[in-house]
């Protein structure tokens, strides 16, 4: 099955808010460590896209790349390039998400390859990110050439329980 990738403008976020909400909500309920904890309502998921992502995309501070499978949103990744004046060469990878229905089919790899191409176009030569230590995203990033610079223990609460988890800080020079 073919994946198609689309860079979303602010208007696309509003137009496809249902699919984007489905995506992040399913990931959170599945336990993804992406900044939220359960209970987490669909309305909160929708508010994330409308209140955090849409304004950043509209203001030219962030790219949102979406992966489609047929007419369903299967995944997304964001490039936050709203960096301070002394870091014009850096950008942050945020919220790489693949819907649980579409995992292990190479969608995350495709999203990362394409967002890196956009980063190069924006003259960003250093990408940084963090991911929960031990999550499946860690071997993915490693296989894409991201290096681990350190682990911070007890960084964030688990999505489904009160356990505190470590985070791994990674970077890649493009």
CA-to-CA distance for 45 and 28, rounded, in angstroms?
9
Interface with ligand COA by CB under 6 A: which range of 5-13, 45-53, 104-112, 151-159? 104-112
Answer yes or no whether residue 135 interacts with ligand COA by CB under 6 A. Answer: yes
Of 83 and 105, which has the nearer Cβ to ligand COA?
A: 105
The beta strand positions in the chain, using DSSP E, are 3-8, 62-69, 72-80, 90-98, 126-132, 147-157, 164-173
- Residue 131 found at the interface with ligand COA (CB under 6 A): yes
d(C-alpha 32, C-alpha 155), whole Å: 15
Binding mask 29-68 for ligand COA (x = CB under 6 A): ---xxx----------------------------------
Contacting residues for 34 by C-beta, under 8 A, at least 6 apart: 24, 27, 28, 95, 97, 159
Nearer to ligand COA, 40 or 103 (CB): 103
Selected binder of ligand COA within 57, 65, 91, 107 (CB under 6 A): 107
Rounded-to-integer distance, Cα 19 and Cα 129, Å = 25
Which of 35, 106, 134, 154 is the binder for ligand COA (CB under 6 A)?
106
Q: Three-state SS for 7?
A: strand
Which CB sits closer to ligand COA, 81 or 141? 141
Structure tokens at 9: 């403008």
* Binding residues for ligand COA (CB under 6 A): 27, 32-34, 96-98, 103-109, 131, 135-137, 139-140, 143
């Amino acid at each position: 099955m073919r994946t198609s990738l689309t860079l979303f403008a602010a208007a696309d976020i509003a137009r496809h808010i249902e699919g984007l909400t489905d995506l992040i909500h399913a990931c959170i309920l599945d336990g993804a460590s992406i900044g939220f904890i359960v209970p987490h309502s669909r309305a909160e998921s929708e508010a994330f896209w409308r209140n955090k992502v849409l304004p950043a995309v509209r203001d030219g501070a962030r790219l949102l790349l979406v992966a489609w499978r047929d007419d369903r949103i299967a995944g997304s990744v964001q490039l936050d390039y709203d960096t301070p004046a002394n870091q014009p060469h850096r950008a942050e990878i945020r919220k790489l998400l693949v819907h649980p229905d579409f995992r292990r089919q190479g969608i995350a790899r495709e999203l990362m390859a394409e967002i890196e191409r956009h980063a190069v176009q924006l003259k960003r030569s250093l990408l940084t990110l963090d991911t929960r230590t031990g999550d499946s995203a860690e071997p993915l990033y490693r296989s894409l050439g991201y290096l681990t610079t350190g682990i911070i223990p007890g960084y964030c609460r688990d999505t489904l329980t009160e356990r505190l988890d470590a985070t791994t800080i990674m970077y890649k020079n493009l």
